[in-house]
A and B are shown apart, each in its own frame.
Chain A
Amino acid sequence: MSTLKVNTIQDTTGDDALTFDSSGNTTVAQDLTVTGQLNSVNGNGFPSAGALSHRNLIINGGMTVAQYGTSSTTTNSYTCDRFKVKFDGENEDPTYAQHALTSSDTGPWAKGFRNSLHITNGNQTSNDADDGMFIKYFVEAQDMANSGWDYGSASSKITLSFWLQTSANQTFYGYVYLPDGGSGTHRRYSFSFTASGNNAWTKITQTIPGGGTGNVITNDTGTGLEILLCPGAGSSITASGSTLDAWKVTDGASWFPDMATTWWDTDDATFEITGVQLEVGDTATEFEHRSYAEELVRCQRYCYKIDCENASGNVSVFGLCFAQATDTFRWPHQWPQRMRTVPSLSASSGSHFKVYDGSNAEVCNSVVIDAASSFSGIIVFGSSGTSMNVGHAPQVYANDTQLAWILLTAEL
Chain B
Amino acid sequence: MTLTYKLRKSQTTTETPTVKNVQKKIDGKVVLDIPIHNDNTDYQEYLEWVDAGNTAEAAD
Report A's interface with B, CB cutoff 8 A: 221-222, 340-346, 367-372, 378, 380, 409-412
Contact = CB atoms under 8 A, between A and B. Distances in A.
B60 to A, nearest CB: 12
Chain A to chain B: the 9 pairs with minimum beta-carbon distance, closest first = A341-B39, A371-B12, A370-B10, A342-B37, A345-B33, A344-B42, A368-B33, A344-B34, A342-B35
Given A344-B33, A346-B31, A368-B21, A222 B39 contact: yes
A342 B39 contact: yes
B40 A343 contact: yes
Contact of A372 (B11, B31, B35, B41): B35
Contacts of B42: 344, 409
Contacts, number: 49
B50 interface: no
A345 B20 contact: no
A346 B31 CA distance: 6
Q: Is the interface on chain B under 10, 10 to 19, 20 to 34, or 35 or more residues?
A: 10 to 19
A369 B12 contact: no
Contact of B40 (A342, A367, A371, A380): A342
Interface in B24-60: 31-35, 37, 39-43
Task: Determine the main DSSP class of B at the interface with A.
Answer: strand
A98 to B, nearest CB: 21
21 contacts: A341-B39, A341-B40, A342-B37, A342-B39, A342-B40, A344-B33, A344-B34, A345-B32, A345-B33, A346-B31, A346-B32, A368-B8, A368-B10, A368-B23, A368-B33, A369-B21, A369-B33, A369-B35, A370-B21, A371-B10, A412-B41
A372 B12 CA distance: 9
A359 B44 CA distance: 44
Contacts of A412: 41
A346 B33 contact: yes
A340 B33 CA distance: 17
A370 B14 CA distance: 13
A394 B19 CA distance: 27
Contact of A370 (B12, B23, B34): B12
B24 to A, nearest CB: 8
Contacts of B33: 344-346, 367-369
